[in-house]
Amino acid sequence: MNYLPFTKPFLDEATIQGVAEVLRSGWLASGPNVAEFESKLSGYLGGRIAKSFTSATGALEVALEICGIGPGDEVITPAMSFAATPNVIMRVGAKPVFVDVDIATRNIDLDQVEKAITSKTCAIMPVHFAGLAVDCDRLYDIAGRHGLRVIEDAAHAIGTVWQGRKIGSFGDIVSFSFHPNKNMTTIEGGALSLADPDDARKLDQLRFHGIVKDDAGNQDVVVPGGKYNLSDVAARVGIGQLAQLDAFNEKRKLLAEHYFDCWDIEDCLLPAKGEGHSWHMFAPLIPFERLHLDRKTFIGQMHEQAIGVGIHYPALHLFSLYRELGYREGDFPNAERIGRETVTLPLFPLMSLDDVERVCKTAREIVKS
């Protein structure tokens, strides 16, 4: 039986050939392919400023630095996401202030965001979880009323549409990930989409050693910048992937719709559908306790049947690092429930509808037995 991983990137022959040409060209670090990739990404995002990075983690960290966020500042973020989201807030010396997620959308609960704002709050960092957009109208209304920056963690959401507009084509600072398990890849990589040319100027410095050049080409170093520039090899992968992104996302949507048709284990909470969803993941919540089934056993048995299953994500506030900030079990019941019950099923463009049926049938048999 073929092993079905929970995700797998697809690189077409033209992209592989293109990468081989870059490798032979002698120019491997940031060069013409990075410029072309950023220009095409900007075009995809309706003409916004688009800047590539070696990872979304680096991009998010630089976004916080652009906003001048550091020690003594608070950033509001969901209690359920990948560790990178709150970690970067800690890395710049600020405090992540968690709020619970909505159990249906699994996105940050915006009612609770309002309640968590203090005089120290500088920004909101929401996550468009699994490719479903946060309510951006409400988000920007809250941020506008309280004078807060917004750094959208759109690691899952390249191609996601909110009310007819792509995530990253509007708003404040928006961060994408191009890790191989995302909807498109540059192997490792990420990008920021920005509106403000002054932010973009700061970004250029923070992304590459803080170096600035005058018209005569003389160098100066003005901030202790990092080193986050994408390679031309990775950018060439991104150019090939971006051209196929909408087709990839169409296929993801088709597969997700088939999961809704075929998944028939009782009392599971399926993901919210939502317009413009880019279906980065499909993750039902399975009531393991009520079924007298251990999640580890379930995942092990799926694996024995050659099906990969992921967990996205354990609640963040229960990790040791965040317990040290005073967070405890019971603080965010929805994040904790997701952490206990979620399983990420295989979903990637190379899959077939038959694969979806096989996943659903296998899961049903395991639960029955």
Ligand X SMILES: Cc1ncc(COP(=O)(O)O)c(C=O)c1O
**What span, in angstroms and rounded, lies between the C-alpha atoms of 61 and 2?**
39
Which part of the chain contacts ligand X (CB under 6 A), choosing from 50-58, 161-169, 243-251, 267-275? 50-58
Residues in the chain: 369
Q: Which of 51, 149, 166, 179 binds ligand X (CB under 6 A)?
A: 179
Judged by beta carbon, residue 8 or residue 364, the one nearer ligand X is: 8
Place of tokens 């463009």: 349
55 scored as a contact of ligand X (CB under 6 A): yes
List, in order, residues 6 or more apart from 196 with CB less than 8 Å away.
none
108 scored as a contact of ligand X (CB under 6 A): no
CB of 60 to ligand X, least distance (A): 6
CB of 297 to ligand X, least distance (A): 26
Judged by beta carbon, residue 18 or residue 78, the one nearer ligand X is: 78
Q: Which helix (H) or strand (E) holds 242?
A: helix 232-262
Q: What track of x and - describes contact with ligand X for positions 73 through 92 (by CB under 6 A)? A: --------xx-xx-------
Cα 347 from chain centre: 15
CB of 129 to ligand X, least distance (A): 7
Judged by beta carbon, residue 106 or residue 179, the one nearer ligand X is: 179
Which part of the chain contacts ligand X (CB under 6 A), choosing from 26-34, 103-111, 153-161, 212-220? 153-161
277 scored as a contact of ligand X (CB under 6 A): no
57 scored as a contact of ligand X (CB under 6 A): yes
Nearest residue to 186 via CA among 32, 49, 19: 19
Judged by beta carbon, residue 149 or residue 156, the one nearer ligand X is: 156
DSSP string covering 270-334: PPP--TT---S-B--B--TTTTT--HHHHHHHHHHTTB--B-----GGGSHHHHTTT--TTS-HH
Q: Is residue 182 flagged as an active site residue?
A: yes
DSSP single-letter state for residue 4: B
Judged by beta carbon, residue 225 or residue 310, the one nearer ligand X is: 310
190 scored as a contact of ligand X (CB under 6 A): yes
CB 114 within 8 A of CB 134: no
Judged by beta carbon, residue 121 or residue 175, the one nearer ligand X is: 175
56 scored as a contact of ligand X (CB under 6 A): yes
Judged by beta carbon, residue 53 or residue 259, the one nearer ligand X is: 53
Catalytic residue among 166, 182, 202, 251: 182
**What span, in angstroms and rounded, lies between the C-alpha atoms of 228 and 194?**
17
98 scored as a contact of ligand X (CB under 6 A): no
Rounded to 5 degrees, what angle do the CA atoms 206, 207, 210 make?
Answer: 45
- Asked if the bond preceding 313 is cis, omega within 30° of 0, the reply is yes
For 250, the token pair is 């169409």
**What span, in angstroms and rounded, lies between the C-alpha atoms of 108 and 328?**
18
**What span, in angstroms and rounded, lies between the C-alpha atoms of 338 and 109?**
14
CB of 158 to ligand X, least distance (A): 11
**What span, in angstroms and rounded, lies between the C-alpha atoms of 114 and 245?**
35
Q: What track of x and - describes contact with ligand X for positions 214 through 233 (by CB under 6 A)? A: --------------------
Which part of the chain contacts ligand X (CB under 6 A), choosing from 55-63, 221-229, 250-258, 315-323? 55-63
Applying CB under 6 A, the site for ligand X has a residue count of 14
Nearest residue to 37 via CA among 58, 54, 62, 60: 54
Residues with a known catalytic role: 182
Q: Please report, as ranges, the residues that interact with ligand X according to CB under 6 A.
A: 55-57, 81-82, 84-85, 127, 153, 155-156, 177, 179, 190
